Structure 1
Amino acid sequence: MAPVQFQRRGHVADVRLNRPAALNAIDDAMDRALADAWDRIDEDPDIWVAVLSGNGDRAFCAGGDMNAPPTGHGGLSFGGGLTGIGGRLRRLRKPLLCAVHGHVLGLGFELAMCADIIIAADDAVFRLPEAKVGVIDHCGVVHRAIRQLPHHVAMAMIVAGVPLTAADALRFGLVNACLPRAEWADGVQQWIDKLLACAPLVSQAARQAALEGLEHPLGEALARSYPLIAAYRQSDDRLEAERAWAERRPPRWSGR
């Protein structure tokens, strides 16, 4: 059974963690499969949105597999290199939506925090189990948690293993929506539709500028140039935006 299911439907790439019997814990095979998925997504201009989720009823992802942990092969980080743990930071070019449910632990929590948008089922619970189980390695998850959550909320998770419910994650701004499990799939699709309605090259360019700009003081971020913004000026979609505006109609994006 493939550790990651990859399916393209229209302009959407569905990436599903597929070890439900192991609560989708990430082993080396899943790590490699995720790395392949990110490459396929970035290399295909007809993929505009990526959606990451997990199969099974109990968990999005229970973290790294303690019995067969990922090794960060080929200089990549765990989780296919997306997270920057123990290797280079691999930044996805396309917008990434993560749909989480059930257990969201450790490395699985970090994978979720790599997304641009997180849609949580109301049974999702986020945890950093490292302190309670006595395991720590590069622990990139703590660097994301302390940046994406209020300081003392993150520290309670980091040093005391305090869980975070989906409702509290919404209250603290970690997730974009918290939905009843019965409404969750429809809610995820509604967010996908919102992303697909946008100019894909603009979303990619703005995403690049926003994330790279965070690495610099505001003045420097404002003064920098961003390659995807520059490339968009020569695109078919920029011309389509002008035509649609002049003709008072919805634009028809091509991603070119």
Structure 2
Amino acid sequence: MSDELLVETRDHIAFVTLNRPKALNSISHELDVELAKVWDTIDTDPDIWVAVLSASGEKAFCAGADISGGTDADASRLALGGGLTGIGGPVRTLSKPLVVAVQGYALGGGFELAMCGDVVVAADNAQFGLPEVKAGIIGECGVVHRAVRQLPHHIAMALILTGDRLPADEALRHGLVNEVVSLPELGNAAERWAKKLAGVSPLAAQAAKLAAHVGLAHSLEVALNTRYEPIEAYATSYDVQEGRRAFQEKRAPVWTGR
């Protein structure tokens, strides 16, 4: 692992930090590969229940893909953000709940990466933008598909077609982020959300996340009539039994993730 990506795990939470502040935390191909490996580890480690994605520095969360090094022949084989965005390659959905902490610029692919979070916390200096049209660029259309699903239609279209930026307070008003805090409080707020998510049954949370994502691809009728394997598997888990015992004994459950 290079010093451009910092990873720390504590209390069942994986803290992943983009650490290229001088490059506005833009994602090079090398960093993209490292991110993909980290998501693999988080997905397969039963002792990791929640992930937090943040970035170093005050100026930017992520300015998108780093194009300063030219075109890498292998870059097209992996989607931006280690696959989370689905831009330029196959999309992956992280099975564990993901909290994203955004400060400063979240532009282009960085905006896309922020939208991959299940919970998004923004500093009051955050600015979300899709500047592609201003530069005469339109590529894999990730800028279109996520924005129109996560913002009111006309707000999303204005961002897409003008390249203007959405400040943190407006992002909160339109439901793009869950909370806006001062920049010094951003890390604490993200950790607070992560601990809240880690306090529920991890298997139930993962099953619910999968059902929500799969169901979005279908009509409500189909989604309601679909059987979700993780939900059915959870019914026989230790944690579901622990939840019932804790309720009967009037105590807080002790989850194991198994």
Equivalent pair of 1:72/1:86 in contact (CA under 8 Å)? no
* 1:18, distance to aligned residue in structure 2 (A): 1.1
* 1:73, distance to aligned residue in structure 2 (A): 4.6
Report 1:64-103 matches (<5 A).
Answer: 64-68=65-69, 73=75, 75-103=77-105
Cα distance in 1 for partners of 2:73, 2:58 equals 27
Aligned length: 256
Structure 1-normalised TM-score?
Answer: 0.96
Report 1:64-143 matches (<5 A).
Answer: 64-68=65-69, 73=75, 75-143=77-145
Structure 2 unaligned segments of length 5 or more: list them: none
Quote the residue 2:48 is aligned against: 47
Cα distance in 2 for partners of 1:168, 1:241 equals 39
Match for 2:163: what amino acid?
G
Match for 2:149: what amino acid?
R
Quote the residue 1:21 is aligned against: 22
Cα distance in 2 for partners of 1:89, 1:121 equals 27
Equivalent pair of 1:120/1:175 in contact (CA under 8 Å)? yes
Report 1:6-17 matches (<5 A).
Answer: 6-17=7-18
1:223 paired residue among 222, 225, 228: 225
Backbone CA RMSD of aligned residues: 1.4
Measured at CA, do residues 42 and 57 of structure 1 come closer, stay the same or move farther in structure 2, by a change above 3 Å? same
The runs of at least 4 aligned residues of structure 1 exceeding 4 Å deviation read: 69-74
* 1:141, distance to aligned residue in structure 2 (A): 2.4
* 1:3, distance to aligned residue in structure 2 (A): 2.3
Equivalent pair of 1:26/1:64 in contact (CA under 8 Å)? yes
Identity of aligned residues (%): 52
Give the 3-state SS of the residue equivalent to 1:136 in structure 2. Answer: coil
Cα distance in 2 for partners of 1:92, 1:189 equals 18
Measured at CA, do residues 50 and 70 of structure 1 come closer, stay the same or move farther in structure 2, by a change above 3 Å? farther
Cα distance in 2 for partners of 1:115, 1:164 equals 17
* Residues 44-85 of structure 1: per-residue CA shift (max 9 Å, x gap): 000000000011121100111121367665843121111111
Structure 2-normalised TM-score?
Answer: 0.95
Equivalent pair of 2:52/2:190 in contact (CA under 8 Å)? no
Measured at CA, do residues 136 and 72 of structure 1 come closer, stay the same or move farther in structure 2, by a change above 3 Å? farther
Measured at CA, do residues 70 and 152 of structure 1 come closer, stay the same or move farther in structure 2, by a change above 3 Å? farther
Give the 3-state SS of the residue equivalent to 1:183 in structure 2. Answer: helix
